[in-house]
Chain A
């Protein structure tokens, strides 16, 4: 049972992680390190930081994010990620669906909590 739950959690994380990344980029551009640390700060979102980069690479290939080089005040230039119009649209779509889904699950799971 516990193993099953672990697998389910891993799958849920895997499926939603890209929207968490898109959300982090919704209002500001971020460079890779900053983005990864932002995700890793929230407990339970990522197990190891490096696994975010394949996702970023995929998002870029799918045209949901794009990158630009910008000067850094301290070191070499940084690769900044930002949402494209398609990324923005994907995020909006997910928000809608996610609220519906979350409410539906809550409807059953939360109603019986503590009873």
Chain B
């Protein structure tokens, strides 16, 4: 079982990784790694592992957004500004297949992967959960109208398949990083 201390540290490192979107991947991995080494060293020097002590330790390290802004400044990464391409990615993932079968959804996937607004894990989720967005569930609803499926099972399946892409896109929209972090002077 995880202690509160572990959880606080985990959350901090996850936030840092998210905030570092846009920084070259190799540097991003390196930074998260080094800061987690720093935390491990600092924890080894603590008397106990109380929540207050861990919080003080993380406060001294600073806000992940501040560290990320510094990294962007040091590596000359411009803060992200126009994210309409990211929004286009989400729209196409959801309904692109309805506008232009297969290709519409595929363009959405490409936009998703070239964007720096999501981590690789989030991109995988966006790609793998019900590929095709709402095409597959709509297709199934049509198919279910001519029933070999029992009505209840068909309805349950349809709801599930509708929910999966909607929830995935909502999740991605929530995790999307906007370009409002100015680099530290």
Residues of A at under 8 Å CB distance from B? Answer: 7, 10-11, 14, 31-33, 36, 40, 47-51, 53-58, 61, 74-76, 78-79
Contact = CB atoms under 8 A, between A and B. Distances in A.
Contacts of A7: 185
Interface stretch (B37-45, B107-115, B117-125): B37-45
B184 interface: yes
Contacts of A78: 37, 41
Contacts of A50: 35, 38, 61-62, 64, 66-67
B41 A33 contact: yes
Given A7-B185, A49-B62, A50-B62, A75 B41 contact: yes
Given A11-B185, A14-B185, A49 B61 contact: yes
A54 B185 contact: no
B27 to A, nearest CB: 6
Nearest to A36: B38
Given A51-B184, A57-B74, A58-B75, A32 B38 contact: yes
B185 A53 contact: no
Interface in B59-93: 60-64, 66-67, 70-71, 73-75
B65 to A, nearest CB: 11
B40 A54 contact: no
A52 to B, nearest CB: 9
A10 B184 contact: yes
Interface string B143-156: 00000000000000
27 contacts: A33-B42, A36-B38, A40-B60, A48-B63, A49-B38, A49-B61, A49-B62, A50-B35, A50-B38, A50-B66, A50-B67, A51-B70, A51-B184, A53-B38, A54-B31, A54-B74, A55-B70, A55-B74, A57-B30, A57-B74, A57-B75, A58-B74, A58-B75, A61-B27, A75-B41, A76-B40, A78-B37
Contact of B67 (A10, A51, A61): A51
Nearest to A6: B185
B34 interface: yes
Nearest to B20: A54
Nearest to A48: B62
A40 B57 CA distance: 13
B74 A47 contact: no
A96 B61 CA distance: 32
A49 B34 contact: no
B60 to A, nearest CB: 5
A21 to B, nearest CB: 12
A51 B44 contact: no
Closest 3 CB pairs of A and B: A48-B62, A54-B71, A33-B41
Name the residue in A32, A51, A74, A79 with the highest tally of chain B Cβ atoms < 10 Å from its Cβ: A51
Interface string B15-44: 000000000000100110011011011101
